[in-house]
Amino acid sequence: MYTARCTRKVLQAMHLPAAAQDQPPSTALGDWYVNFINTRNHRLVHFLSDRSLLSVLIPVRTLKTAFDRHLNSVHDLLEDLGVPPAIIQAELDEMKHRAVAKTQSRSVLASMRDLALNARWMLAKAPRASLLEISHELARVPCGPLAMAFPAEVAIALLLKRHSYSTEQVRGA
């Protein structure tokens, strides 16, 4: 179980009511913040893990399917980062249940804005790059709230801690 913490724009665009009560996440990566990124050539939905600042980008397309496509993109990014399939599946199983609520943390929103600026720059620099490639690059951007650690490293550490794997098992995969 996790909460999709949406900005006001996202809640309005998706016609979603915000949950009245917060529930703590049962996932290793925590809640996911959701906002839009608009560039000249792209309309994207930006999902950001509040615990690791790991970003996942998906095209807007149909907003009704955005949360399901988010899960597929999380799978692809974690696989690309070398996370073992069993850990990915365990995290995705926990993410099958979600609530929708308003954003809560200004710090996470500030990080989200910074990473969105990076994403815009990356898309301008490499317009033919896939969204998985951009998400992977964002996972390698050092973040101040993480003591300048990389979101990929923090996400992997959270997943390994939660699912009792050692770092060597991931590197050997």
Answer yes or no: pTM beyond 0.85: yes
Q: Distance of alpha carbon 15 from its chain centroid, rounded? A: 21
Q: Which long-range contacts (CB under 8 A, 24 or more apart) does 115-122 make?
A: 115/46, 115/48, 115/53, 115/55, 115/141, 115/143, 116/35, 116/37, 116/46, 119/37, 119/44, 119/46, 119/55, 119/57, 120/37, 120/39
Q: pLDDT tens across 18-51, in order?
A: 777 778 999 999 999 999 999 888 899 999 999 9
Fold of 2-171: Nucleotidyltransferase; domain 5 (3.30.420)
SS3 88: helix
Q: pLDDT tens across 82-140, in order?
A: 999 999 999 999 999 999 999 999 999 999 999 999 999 999 999 999 999 999 999 99
